[in-house]
Amino acid sequence: MLFGLLLTLDIVSGADLDPNGLRLCFTSISKIQDLSGQNRTAVPLNLPEDTEYLDMSQNPIQELTGEAFSKLHHLCFLKMADCGLTEISPRVFDKIPFLKILNLTLNKLSAIPDLLLPNIQILDLSYNFYRSYQLPKAYKNQKNLELFVLGSANATSVHLSDFDPLQNVTLQHLILGAETKWLTYESGALAKLQHLQEISLKATFCEKMNLLDLILADLNKTQVTAMRFHRSISVQQDSMVFILLEPISVDSLSKRFIGLRSILKQKTYLEWPKEEHKRQVFWASLKAMLHRADKFMVLKEVALAISETTPLINAFEDSKDDTF
């Protein structure tokens, strides 16, 4: 009996299975279909109707139209990363009302697809080919959306109306950008996301630090208390900014966290102030730190040590796959 239990746990926690998919959608191994990298040109029509978890990544599927998922009424997790997708029918997901996670990263979509997904919680449309962050009006119906990943190397500007459909959506975490230089940011764009609690910016602001001023001013009008900046200063090296949500005593940390103890002693971090009147100073301090972030380079091992011991902002992992 013990052997059978250990074997089951080993299968479920396999490295190829998405942790969010397992957390939100997993009920049985028999309902998982991993068909990634099998050189398929379409979604099979003979999949078990009780499939809940489907990975079709790295198959040459250029279009999703018609009845691709017409029989998969229980599908909760769908990943089609790196398939070369160029077109998605707005109605293709109508037959899967319980879809909670959709990952379409690393495809060739020339526009943000017009999707109606009433129960979606995690949506990844990053690293596609679209040139604008303008969201279709249908996104106002994504009432359960918690994590939204959006980014394209071709999208170098953020316009005032881009996120209008999400104004009344309780989006908690937005990951925005594709490690490219932003040229313009229209003030007020992010301020419309009143329910936003966390934002991760994957963009560079070289010689455009005024854009960062506008972004920080907008975020100060939202509920954001956690931020991550990835390659925010230079495309040649990663800069990390740590923001502590509560004070940490150096003496309370194990001596094995040498790097973390060093950071805390040098005060190369920011604390989120509880007093409302001090938060303007916080934003000014963050801006100043980003201006000179090259002086505060921190090793990945230190970031991991912090994430294991404190409730603060974690640095991005080096690979894109760590997001999902």
pLDDT higher than threshold 70 for residue 270 = no
For range 11-31, the mean pLDDT: 74
Domain end, chosen from 192, 227, 245, is at 245
**Which one has a higher pLDDT value, 61 or 305?**
61
Range of the domain at 303: 246-324
CB 72 within 8 A of CB 51: yes
Say if residue 70 is in the same domain as residue 29.
yes
Task: Let me know whether 7 and 135 are in one domain.
Answer: yes
Do 50 and 169 belong together in one domain?
A: yes
The C-alpha atoms of residue 282 and residue 260 are separated, in whole angstroms, by: 21
CA distance 72 to 296: 50
Mean pLDDT over residues 8-30, rounded?
67
Do 205 and 252 lie in one domain? The reply is: no
Tell me, yes or no, whether 259 and 232 share the same domain: no
Do 275 and 183 have their domain in common?
no
Strands in 134-280 per DSSP E: 147-150, 157-158, 173-181, 184-185, 198-204, 226-230, 243-244, 270-271
Note whether 55 and 159 are same-domain residues.
yes
Query: In the chain, how many domains are there?
Result: 2
- Based on the fold, state whether residues 19 and 97 are members of the same structural domain: yes
Say whether both 208 and 250 belong to one domain: no
Domain-ending residue, one of 202, 221, 245:
245
| Same-domain pairing of 219 and 270 | no
Q: Which residue has the higher pLDDT, 157 or 28?
A: 157
Is residue 313's pLDDT more than 70? no
Clarify whether residues 94 and 115 are in a common domain.
yes
What would the two tokens of residue 232 be? 């925010």
Choosing from 205, 220, 245, the residue where a domain stops is: 245
Q: Is the pLDDT of residue 178 over 50?
A: yes
Q: Return the CATH number at 132.
A: 3.80.10.10
pTM greater than the 0.75 cutoff: no
The model's pLDDT over 281-309, given as tens digits with 9 standing for 90+, comes to: 666 666 665 555 444 433 344 444 444 44
Residue 148 and residue 16 share a domain: yes
